[in-house]
Amino acid sequence: MPIIVKLGKKVKAAARKLLPAPEPRLSWSRRISQIKTERRICAMTFDDGPMDLPAVPDRFEGRAVTDLLLDVLAEFGAKGTFDVIGDTSENYPDRRGRLGTTNWGGVAYDHYPDFGRDERGGALHCQRLIRRMIDEGHQITNHSYRHIIYGKEAFVYRKRHSLDSFDAAVADLTRLDSLLRERDGYQMHMTRPPHYVNRVEKGLTAYDVCDALGYQYLAASFDGAGWMSDRSPDPEAALEAEIKAMTEPIRKALEKDPDCLRGQIIFQKDGGNMQRRTPVVYGLRGQLELLRQYGYQVVTVAELMEESPFADLGREDPLFDKLNALQRSRTVVYSDNLLRLDRPMTRGELALLLCPREEAITRRLAIIRRSGPADSAAGALEWCAEKGLLPKGTDPKAPVSTLPPAHFAPTNDFTRRGVYQAYRFPAE
Angle at CA of residue 112, ends 29 and 62, nearest 5°: 125
* SS3 letters across the chain: CCHHHHHHHHHHHHHHHHCCCCCCCECCCCEECECCCCCCEEEEEEECCCECCECCCCCCCCCEHHHHHHHHHHHCCCCCEEEECCCCCCCCCCCCCCCCCCCCCCCCCCCCCCCCCHHHEHHHHCHHHHHHHHHCCCEEEECCCCCCECCCCCCCCCCCCECCCHHHHHHHHHHHHHHHHHHHCCCCCEECCHHHCCECCCCCEHHHHHHHHCCEEECCCEECCCCCCCCCCCHHHHHHHHHHHHHHHHHHHHHHCCCCCCCEEEEEECCCCCCCCCHHHHHHHHHHHHHHHCCCEEECHHHHHHHCCCCCCCCCCCCHHHHHHHCCCCCCCECCCCCCCCCECEHHHHHHHHCCHHHHHHHHHHHHHHHCCCCCCHHHHHHHHHCCCCCCCCCCCCECCCCCCCCECCCCCCEHHHHHHHECCCCC
Condensed to tens digits (0 to 9), the pLDDT of residues 353-411 reads: 999 999 999 999 999 989 988 999 999 999 999 999 999 999 999 999 999 999 999 99
Closest C-alpha to 142, from 179, 111, 98, 183? 179
Residue 311 contacts residue 36 (beta carbons within 8 Å): yes
Residue 377 contacts residue 363 (beta carbons within 8 Å): no
Q: Can you name the residues that pair with 43 across neighbouring β-strands?
A: 265, 299
The Cα 154–Cα 160 span in angstroms is 10
The Cα 285–Cα 293 span in angstroms is 12
The Cα 388–Cα 408 span in angstroms is 16
Q: Please state whether beta strands 81-84 and 265-269 pair in parallel, antiparallel, or not at all (unpaired).
A: unpaired
* Whole-number pLDDT of residue 180: 98
* Whole-number pLDDT of residue 201: 86
Closest C-alpha to 400, from 414, 411, 413? 414
Q: Please state whether beta strands 297-299 and 81-84 pair in parallel, antiparallel, or not at all (unpaired).
A: unpaired
The Cα 339–Cα 356 span in angstroms is 18
Using 70 as the pLDDT threshold, list the residues of the chain that sit under it.
1-21, 427-428
User: Any residues with CB less than 8 A from the CB of 418 and at least 6 apart, and which?
Assistant: 411, 412
Phi and psi at 328, nearest 5°, equal -75, -25
The Cα 227–Cα 273 span in angstroms is 5
The Cα 187–Cα 177 span in angstroms is 7
Residue 390 contacts residue 381 (beta carbons within 8 Å): yes
* Whole-number pLDDT of residue 21: 57
User: How many Cβ atoms sit within 10 Å of the Cβ of residue 210?
Assistant: 26
The Cα 227–Cα 220 span in angstroms is 14
* Whole-number pLDDT of residue 154: 73
Phi and psi at 384, nearest 5°, equal -65, -35
The Cα 347–Cα 362 span in angstroms is 19
The Cα 152–Cα 201 span in angstroms is 9
**All domains of the chain, ordered by start, with CATH?**
24-305 (3.20.20.370), 313-422 (no CATH)
Alpha carbons within 13 A on the beta-carbon side of 249: 16
User: Any residues with CB less than 8 A from the CB of 120 and at least 6 apart, and which?
Assistant: 51, 52, 53, 113, 114, 126
The Cα 218–Cα 34 span in angstroms is 10
